[in-house]
Amino acid sequence: MSHTPPSSYYQRHIFFCLNQRDNGEACCADHDAQAAFDHCKARVKTEGLAGPGKVRVNKAGCLDRCAGGPIAVVYPEAVWYTYVDQSDIDEIVESHLKNGQVVERLLTPPDVGR
């Protein structure tokens, strides 16, 4: 009998770092990450992409790549983004979350850490 692996509950999952630091160190909250998260969530919903078998948008704490902030990461591809404004979010939703095409121009450089 062959074994079929379970399909993933969500097709794609995007996490936004919303971490706020009050000690003066860089953090994604300094770059309006909450507004970007809210915008992404709303956009995914209006595009009809939200839900099981589709897309989930989640908040995250620090993802430890703060120097590239504001940071979002998409799984299962494990693609890291540094976005600037809401039109960047729209592009990630349309291109990557909807159509599976990575938005190359928004990729976080590979060596960027905390």
Which residues contribute to the site for ligand FES (CB under 6 A)? Answer: 17, 19, 27-28, 62-66, 69, 71
* Concatenated DSSP letters of 65-112: -GGG-SEEEEETTTEEEE--SHHHHHHIIIIIIIT----GGGBPPTT-
DSSP 53: T
C-beta separation of 74 from 13 below 8 A: yes
Instruction: Tell how strand 71-75 and strand 12-17 pair up.
Output: antiparallel
Closest separation in Å from C-beta 7 to ligand FES = 30
Closest separation in Å from C-beta 2 to ligand FES = 41
Closest separation in Å from C-beta 99 to ligand FES = 26
Complex with ligand FES: residue 46 or 75, whichever CB lies closer? 75
Complex with ligand FES: residue 35 or 101, whichever CB lies closer? 35
